[in-house]
Amino acid sequence: MPYQPKIIIKKTERRLILSTADCTDRSYPVALGKNWAADKAVEGDHATPLGEFYVCAKNPRSKFSLSLCISYPNAEDAARGLAAGLITAVEHAQIVEAIRLGKMPPQHTKLGGEICIHGRASDHPAPAPKDWTRGCIALDNTDMQEVYDAAAIGMPVVIVE
């Protein structure tokens, strides 16, 4: 079975590891959500999620240079949200079905959404503050170009502490 390329984000180290098909790893510094240490739970908490996701969209015209949308919320987030009464059974089913099909899950529930790996906006100061996003993973634009070029829809994204 061939090696599957993936993206690994290590929150504590503030690093993104791009592991490619030729088994080479590239490492990039990242900024995270302002509430980076927490696992994303609800819209507006500014937390970067933990878990297993995949690239569900690529945006070459993002406000933040380039962006890769990740499949947050995943099935575990949906189960937690349903149990906590944050989402309905219908929303839970929609999220689970989107994940099963490898599609973009609903992005506008109380769990939040639109979590991306992205660059920096042209009006954003350089160097960027340590953690400035609303829960996303941000890279310098040059690094983001490399990650964007190597990424494909469906590529696994793993976010760990």
Element (H, E) at 109: none
Gap between the Cα atoms of 107 and 114, Å rounded? 6
AA identity, residue 11? K
**Cα angle for residues 67, 73, 74 (degrees, 5° grid):** 110
State how far the Cα of 55 lies from the Cα of 69, in Å rounded to an integer.
Answer: 6
Token pair recorded at residue 46: 């500014």
Per-residue pLDDT at 125:
61
Q: Is 3 exposed, middle or buried (0-12, 13-18, 19+ CB in 10 A)?
A: exposed
Other beta carbons within 10 angstroms of residue 40's beta carbon come to 24
Q: pLDDT tens digits for the chain (161 residues)?
A: 566 799 999 999 999 999 987 777 999 999 999 999 999 999 999 999 999 999 999 999 888 889 999 999 999 999 999 999 999 999 999 999 999 999 999 999 999 999 999 998 766 666 556 888 999 999 999 999 999 999 999 999 999 99
> pTM here?
0.92
The domain limits of the chain are 6-160
**Superfamily grouping for domain 6-160:** L,D-transpeptidase catalytic domain-like (2.40.440.10)
> Cis omega (within 30 of 0) on the bond before 49?
no
Residue type, 26: R
Pair type for strands 51-62 and 25-29: unpaired
Phi, psi of 16 (to 5 degrees): -115, 130
Helix, strand, coil percent content, the chain, rounded in steps of 5 = 20, 30, 50
